[in-house]
Amino acid sequence: MGKVFTPYRLIGLGFAAFIAVIDQIVKWYVVGPLDLRNVRNIELLSFFDLTYTENRGISLGMLEATNMEMRWLLVGLTAVIALVVLIWMMREKYLGDILGLSMILGGAIGNIRDRYLLGYVVDYADLHIGTFRPFLIFNIADAAITIGVVIILARSLFIGDKDDKTTGENTVPAEI
């Protein structure tokens, strides 16, 4: 059995923590100094606004927590998913896979913290083209989760057998 804390896994853990911290700092700024909860909307660019919303559900607003029991069920469910992602990440050897999983983990931690402390997830990023909104209002954690899933899917679909020279199991740099 190999080492649990390889250099790549440590990078992944650090990246997950970075994403969670940045997510929380931006959410604090949005509801604190910007007072977006009361202002409701700030137009930044012709295609991007800050629009305050409270997401009481999970992805795409599904499984909305309408009572305290449902809130804690969602906290528990998302915590279990985050734990599975952490275990998966700690078993991976390849930096690309680890970074994708760390994005999912960091985003999950940011959103779990919101749901645990507030009962909902603070969303604010409103990307649009005129009145057309290709996405729901989201936050950094949501974006990290989505990008992480895309990375994992792309790597599993487009990268065949992985070469042991890129595992991070040793300290010798991989050949390019």
Domain of residue 124, residue span: 12-160
pLDDT tens digits, residue range 63-120? Answer: 677 788 888 988 999 999 999 999 999 999 999 999 999 999 999 999 999 999 999 9
Q: Is 164 a catalytic residue?
A: no
Query: Which residues in 14-157 belong to E strands, given as ranges?
Result: 41-45, 48-55, 121-127
Dihedral of the alpha carbons of 138, 105, 29, 43, in degrees to the nearest 10: -20
79 domain residue, yes or no: yes
143 located within any domain: yes
For the question of residue 123 being annotated catalytic, the response is: yes
Domain contains 172: no
Residue 21 covered by a domain: yes
**Which is catalytic among the residues 142, 161, 163, 164?**
142
Quick one: pLDDT at residue 58?
73
How far is Cα 107 from Cα 19, in angstroms, rounded to an integer? 6
Nearest to 102 by CA among 166, 94, 62, 138: 94
The tally of domains found in the chain comes to 1
Set 35, 123, 126, 164: catalytic member = 123
Evaluate whether residue 176 is within a structural domain: no
What pLDDT is recorded for position 169? Answer: 53
What's the whole-number mean pLDDT along residues 155-174? Answer: 60
73: Cβ–Cβ under 8 A, 6 or more apart, which residues?
Answer: 65
Give the pLDDT band (50/70/90) at residue 176: very low
Report the side by side order of strands in the sheet with 121-127: 41-45, 48-55, 121-127
Among 21-30, 63-72, 152-161, 165-174, the range with the most confident prediction by mean pLDDT is 21-30
Distance CA 119, CA 99 (A): 29
pTM of this structure: 0.84
- The answer to whether residue 1 is domain-embedded is no
Determine, yes or no, domain membership for 140.
yes
Give the pLDDT band of residue 172 (cuts 50, 70, 90).
very low
| N-term to C-term CA, the chain | 27
DSSP at 164: G
Inside any domain, residue 166: no
Q: What is the pLDDT of residues 9-64, one digit of tens each?
A: 999 999 999 999 999 999 999 999 999 999 999 999 999 999 999 998 776 556 67
